[in-house]
Structure 1
Amino acid sequence: MSGLAKPIPALYAVYVLRSTVRHASIYVGSTPNPPRRLRQHNGEAKGGAVRTSRDSLRPWEMAIVVSGFPSSIAALKFEWALNNPHLTTHIPKDERITVATQRKKSGMPKRSPHTLKSIVSNLHLLTRVPSFSRWPLNLHFFTPDAHKAWDHWTKASKIPVSSSLRILTDFGSSAGDSSTTSYGIHALPLDYSSMQEYIEKTHNVVSFERQGRCVHCNAEMQPDEGLYAMCPNEGCEAMGHIDCWSRHALASDDPGAVIPNRCKCPSCRGEIRWGDMMKELSLRTRGAGEVEKLLRKRKRAKKDS
C-alpha cells in the first residue's frame, strides 16, 4: 500500500441540519466532526455556512446523521446526491422521487426546498442504489419525528431497507445541546477509540507472529508476506488471507457482486460487516501512529483500573 495512503477515517458524516425555530429550514452538509460543525453553524465557533448564519433560525440541530463512509470523498459524493436528488446520476431517472419543476437563472433544473419527507425518502433511495448500498453505513436519528418520518416512508414504500444499513436512534438529549457529551451527536466516536479492543487483539497476534493458518484455506500465513484480516467479533481470533475472506463473503452474497458486503465467520459464526474488518486492516497497515495512541490509552486504562 502507498505510504501516502491513509486509513479509513474513524468518522466522516453527512448530516441533516434543521432549525429548531423553523423546522421547515433544512441544510445538508458533511463533516468529520459533527459537534464542532454544529457549533460553527450556531455561531459559537468560526466557520459555518452563510445559509445557516441568520440569527432568526438559530439554534440549529442535527436531526439525522449518516456515518460509515470509507473516505471524505465518498461522503461528499453522498452529500451532493442527497442535496441534488433531481440531478445525481447515482439515481436512475425512472426511480427519482424528487424532480425539478423550475429552472435557475443559469438554466439548470431547480429542485423544491428540502423537507423532512423529501430527505428521508431520498435517504431510503440512496442507501439502496448500487453506488452506496454496499458501504457499511449507519443512519442515526436524533429526533423522534425524523425517525417517525423514516418509519412512515419505509412502510408506505413497501421497499425493504438495504441489508447493509444500520438504523440507530438516540433521543436522550437535544442534538443541538452542546452542554453534554453523553447523548446525540456528542456521543459519536470521533476517533478510533471504539475499536480499541479489536485493534489490540489483532496487534497482539501480528506482533507476536501468531497468525497461524488461514481460517478459510488452512494455508500457513507467513508474517509480512500478505494482507491478513481478522474477525472483529469479541473473543474470536480467526484470521485469514484477505482474498480468502473476500471469496467467502462473495459466495454468500448477491449474484454478480464485486465488493463484499457481509458474511459469517467460519470460526465463531458471528456476523461480520466487510467494512468493519477493512477499517481495522487499513488502520493496521496505514495508521501506525493512531494504533500506538490507542495501545497507550489501553495500557493507561488498565493501570487506572
Structure 2
Amino acid sequence: MSIQTKPIPALYTVYILRSTVRHSSLYIGSTPNPPRRLSQHNGTVKGGAARTSKASLRPWEMVGLVSGFPSMVAALKFEWALTNPHLSLHIPSSSRLTQPTQRKRGGGRPRRPVKSMVSILSNVHLLLRVPSFQRWPLKVHFFAPEVYRAWEKWCETASEGVRAGLEVVTDFGEGEGSAKKGKGKGVEEESGEDGEGGGGWGIHALPVDYEPMKEYVAKGQEVFVGETEGDCVVCREELKSGKGLHVLCSREGCEGVGHLACWSRHLLPRGDDGILPVQGRCPKCGGEVLWVDMMKELTLRLRGKKEVEDLMRVKRKRATKGKAPAKT
C-alpha cells in the first residue's frame, strides 16, 4: 500500500465554535478551511460533528481561532491539548487551570470538565506559552467583540503575561472594531478592507488557498525548472539540480538557494534545543524568512503538481450574460 503525500496545507487552524442560540454551548475543532467547516457544522454541507448536529443549537459561529501551525499534525496536537487541558502532557500538572471533578464509570480517565469561554481562552493563553508551542509563529484571531474583551480581561489578570511577539488580530465586520491587528497586549487599528484570500470579513477573509504565495511559487518554478540554483547560500558548495532537497529564500527578489540541512542549521539559533527552526534571516539578502513558508513552497514543488498548476493557471473573467467576450 503506497502512502499518499500532499503539500503542507496553505492554512491550518484550531477554532472556537459557539452556538448563536445558546452561547454556553461551545466546541473546539481544527480545519484548513474555516468557511467550509462552519458550513458543515451548520448542516449546509455534508460533514460536521455529532456534537454540533442538534438543530436546536444551530446556527453556529466561529468566534475565534489560532492560525500559523507548521503542519496539520501540529494543529491537531494543539486542538487535543485545548480540548483536554486536564489530561494534556503539554501542560504540567502544577500549571493546569482546568481540573477534572469526576471520573468515567469503572475508574477510567477523568471526565472532561465543562467548557466555558473563559476556560477556553485561559487555556489558549497558557498553551501559547508552553515549550511545545511557544516557538511556533502562531497568530490569534477574534471575530466577536465580547470574546475579544474576555481575552483582554484574562490577559490583564493572568499571573503571566501573553507570550512576547504574539500577534492578535480582530475582525468584527462593519461593527465594533472593524479590523485591528497588533502584537502582544496592544492592538492597533488596521484598514477595514477585506482580508487577503476569500474576501468578506472574519473567517471568510482568511487565505485558505495558496494565492498569497503565488509569486514565491512562480519564482521557485523559474529557479528549479531552469536549473539556476547556483551554490548553497550557507555552505557555498555547488547545488546539483535534481539531487537532494533544496530550499529557496521566500523574500521578494532574492534567489538564494541552499541545502535543506544547511538552511535548518543556519536558522536554528545557537543553544536552541529545538528540532526544527521557526524563523531567521537569509544569508544572501539578510531578510527575515519563516521556515513554514519555505517548507510550503518545497512541498508544493515536490508533491503539489496539481496545486501549482491550479495556482499558475490564468483566471479568465466571466463574460457578462447575453454578451460575447470582447475580442483582443
Check whether TM > 0.5.
yes
Question: Percent of pairs identical after alignment?
Answer: 56
Deviations 1:191-244 (A, max 9, x none): 222211110111111111111222222222221122221221222222222222
CA offset at residue 137 of structure 1? 2.8
- When the two chains are superposed, the root-mean-square deviation of aligned CA atoms in Å is 2.6
CA offset at residue 13 of structure 1? 2.2
Q: Does 1:288 align with 2:313?
A: no
1:100 matched to which residue of 2? 100
CA offset at residue 84 of structure 1? 0.7
Residue identity in the other structure for 1:144: P
CA offset at residue 165 of structure 1? 4.9
CA offset at residue 159 of structure 1? 3.3
SS at structure 2 position matched to 1:89 = coil
1:29/1:5 CA distance change after superposition, 3 Å: same
Give the Cα separation in 1 of the matches to 2:106 and 2:72: 29
1:268/1:160 CA distance change after superposition, 3 Å: farther
Give the Cα separation in 2 of the matches to 1:140 and 1:282: 26
1:49 matched to which residue of 2? 49
CA offset at residue 158 of structure 1? 5.3
CA offset at residue 76 of structure 1? 2.5
1:228 matched to which residue of 2? 246
Alignment of 1:1-305 (within 5 A): 4-107=4-107, 108-157=109-158, 159-162=160-163, 165-172=166-173, 181-251=199-269, 255-297=272-314
Deviations 1:67-103 (A, max 9, x none): 3334433333222211110011121111211111223
Residue identity in the other structure for 2:281: K
1:50/1:243 CA distance change after superposition, 3 Å: closer
1:189/1:105 CA distance change after superposition, 3 Å: same
CA offset at residue 160 of structure 1? 4.8
SS at structure 1 position matched to 2:132 = coil
Give the Cα separation in 2 of the matches to 1:74 and 1:32: 12
Give the Cα separation in 2 of the matches to 1:265 and 1:148: 38
Give the Cα separation in 2 of the matches to 1:50 and 1:182: 29
SS at structure 2 position matched to 1:64 = strand
Q: Contact 1:213 / 1:219 at 8 angstroms: preserved in 2?
A: yes
SS at structure 2 position matched to 1:132 = helix
Give the Cα separation in 2 of the matches to 1:197 and 1:260: 23
Give the Cα separation in 1 of the matches to 2:300 and 2:33: 19
Unaligned 5+ runs, structure 2: 176-197, 318-325
1:90/1:143 CA distance change after superposition, 3 Å: same
Give the Cα separation in 2 of the matches to 1:157 and 1:231: 39
1:177 matched to which residue of 2? none
Residue identity in the other structure for 1:264: R
Q: Which is further off, 8-17 or 64-73?
A: 64-73
Larger Rg: 2
Residue identity in the other structure for 1:102: Q
TM-score with structure 2 setting the length:
0.80
Deviations 1:96-140 (A, max 9, x none): 111112233353312432112111111122222233333343322
The higher-RCO structure (CA 8 Å, 6+ apart) is 1
SS at structure 1 position matched to 2:274 = coil
CA offset at residue 150 of structure 1? 2.4
CA offset at residue 55 of structure 1? 3.5
CA offset at residue 162 of structure 1? 4.3
CA offset at residue 53 of structure 1? 3.0
Q: Contact 1:20 / 1:57 at 8 angstroms: preserved in 2?
A: yes
Q: Which runs of 4+ in 1 moved over 6 A?
A: none
Q: Which is further off, 146-155 or 220-229?
A: 146-155
Give the Cα separation in 1 of the matches to 2:199 and 2:106: 44
Give the Cα separation in 2 of the matches to 1:16 and 1:215: 42
CA offset at residue 161 of structure 1? 3.9
TM-score with structure 1 setting the length:
0.85
CA offset at residue 249 of structure 1? 1.0
SS at structure 2 position matched to 1:152 = helix
Give the Cα separation in 2 of the matches to 1:194 and 1:231: 15
Unaligned 5+ runs, structure 1: 175-179
Residue identity in the other structure for 1:211: E
Give the Cα separation in 2 of the matches to 1:141 and 1:200: 33
